[in-house]
Amino acid sequence: MPLDPIISVRGLRVAYGSNEVLKGIDLAIAPGSFVALLGASGCGKTTLLRTLSGFTQATGGSIAVNGRDILLQPPEHRGMAMVFQSYALWSHMSVEQNIGYGLKLRRVTREEIRRRVAAMLAMLGLEGYGARPVTELSGGQRQRVALGRALAIEPQILLLDEPLSNLDAGIRLQMRHEIRAIQRKLGVTAILVTHDREEAMVMADQVVVLDQGRVAQVGTPEDVYQRPVSPYVAAFMGADNIIDCGASTEAGRLQLRVPGIPQAMVQLDVPAATIEGRAQIHFRSEMATLGAPGAHHADSLQIPGRLRQVSYLGGGYRCEVDTACGAFFIHHPSTLPLGDAVTVRIPVSGLHVYPRSLSRT
């Protein structure tokens, strides 16, 4: 039996003057879950996080935590803690003073502050660093201090505003798993803002994709990645190679034909939404293969082209292929001579097909 949501958002709207940033957000977040708010710059994900926390005022809608309306409550009464992108640590304080700062504001006893700070230092791998000034810490260590300060007050809900964006790539990869492990251990509900789809998929058990102030899709990382519901979500999740085509349904099968390329046609199972007329195909570079011109494969869409550029990525090559319907980037295990005629083959399982009316262009 599903649990009642810890956070319920209904019709949430936020405007800065005449510019409406959130345009009616509906969202239900289960207790103990890790949710990633994902989307391009300007989609509203940070505004949504700040509105949940109370740092930005809503212009409409409702926010409830455990059934209690908190829309007009100040941040300190919402049962939430935030880890900011800049960490916002006090540079004149030690590590233990920073971690215990929120507890001091809440007039927790000195003994209890010492106990919780010690527990945070142990959990975060910072034992022996308590007396050290935060200015002497590495980026990864500062991230841990900021996380410890947020968790020390034992919030129901942890808000994370792109907390890893200032870290080096290697430390960022490590911290993804550390934060996820801590969240699972404590059972706190976490909401992460990120523009990095890999980060969202690694850390979250639910992904919320935002587009221009609206929810474009909500689902598990697997659902959003494998079954994007719109061209925007498909492109944002990596299926950014696009082919315009014609679509029709014949004998219970969807027929796709690329204009001007007679051999570029394929059949697949009819999707839930009938597609007729102009359509758009999205596919990921890693789903396609490159082959020599020639044999037809009925289970794949085949586009003839010519190799324009090859770049070595380490463990494989990124090939740019010119075709009559545009240039595509395809991953290939070995290098190929520039100018060679090739065929781009995309298996039916790698095609995401949408009516052209859903596209912004």
**32-64 pLDDT tens trace:** 999 999 999 899 999 999 999 999 999 999 999
Higher pLDDT, 86 or 360: 86
DSSP 8-state class, residue 270: P
Give the Cβ contact number of residue 82 at 10 Å: 22
Instruction: Give CA–CA dist 177/143, Å, rounded.
Output: 13
| pLDDT band per the 50, 70, 90 thresholds, residue 273 | low
Shortest CA distance to 206 belongs to which of 2, 9, 29, 35? Answer: 35
What local confidence, expressed as pLDDT, does residue 125 receive? 86
Instruction: Please state which of the ranges 201-215, 235-249, 270-284 shows the lowest mean pLDDT.
Output: 270-284
Q: How far apart are CA 100 and CA 105, in angstroms?
A: 9
The whole-number pLDDT of residue 320 equals: 94
Contact 209, 178 (CB under 8 A): no
Q: CB pairs under 8 A, 24+ apart, for 208-211?
A: 208/27, 208/35, 208/36, 208/37, 208/38, 209/38, 209/39, 209/233, 209/236, 209/237, 210/37, 210/38, 210/39, 210/43, 210/44, 210/45, 210/48, 211/39, 211/40, 211/43
What pLDDT, on the 0 to 100 scale, is given for residue 80? 94
pTM to 2 decimal places: 0.88
| Residues 202/177, Cβ–Cβ less than 8 Å | yes
Instruction: Provide the greatest CA pair distance for the chain.
Output: 78
Q: Does domain 7-233 have CATH number 3.40.50.300?
A: yes
Taking only the tens place, the pLDDT of each residue in 314-355 is 888 999 999 999 899 999 999 889 999 999 999 999 999 998
> Angle 110-123/139-152 helices, nearest 10 degrees?
140
Mean predicted confidence (pLDDT) in 116-131: 89
Mean pLDDT across 170-184: 87
From residue 235, alpha-carbon distances to 177, 218, 274, 354 in Å are 26, 16, 21, 12
- Per the document, the length of the chain is 361
| CA atoms of 186 and 1, how far apart (whole Å) | 22
Rounded (10°) CA dihedral 137, 140, 145, 146: 120
Phi and psi angles of residue 299, each rounded to the nearest 5 degrees, phi first: -95, 20
More confident of the two residues 358 and 187 = 187
Distance CA 293, CA 304 (A): 7
Q: Which of 213-217, 292-296, 349-353 has the lowest mean pLDDT?
A: 292-296
Residue range 234-358, CATH number:
2.40.50.140
With bands split at pLDDT 50, 70 and 90, how would you rate the model's confidence at 1? Answer: low
Q: Calculate mean pLDDT across residues 128-145.
A: 88
> Where are the chain's structural domains?
7-233, 234-358
The pair of structure tokens assigned to 225 is 């990645």
Check if 7-233 and 234-358 are the same fold: no
In terms of phi and psi (left: phi > 0; alpha: psi -120 to 50; beta: otherwise), the region of 61 is left
For residue 324, which amino acid is it?
A: A
- Indicate the helix (H) or strand (E) that contains 221: helix 221-226
The pLDDT of residue 169: 79
How does strand 241-250 pair with strand 34-38? unpaired
**pLDDT of res. 275:** 80
Q: Is the pLDDT of residue 231 over 90?
A: yes
**pLDDT at residue 359, rounded to an integer:** 63
pLDDT digits (tens, 9 = 90+) for 157-176: 999 998 888 777 788 888 89
Most confident of 118-132, 159-173, 246-260: 118-132
pLDDT, the chain, mean: 90
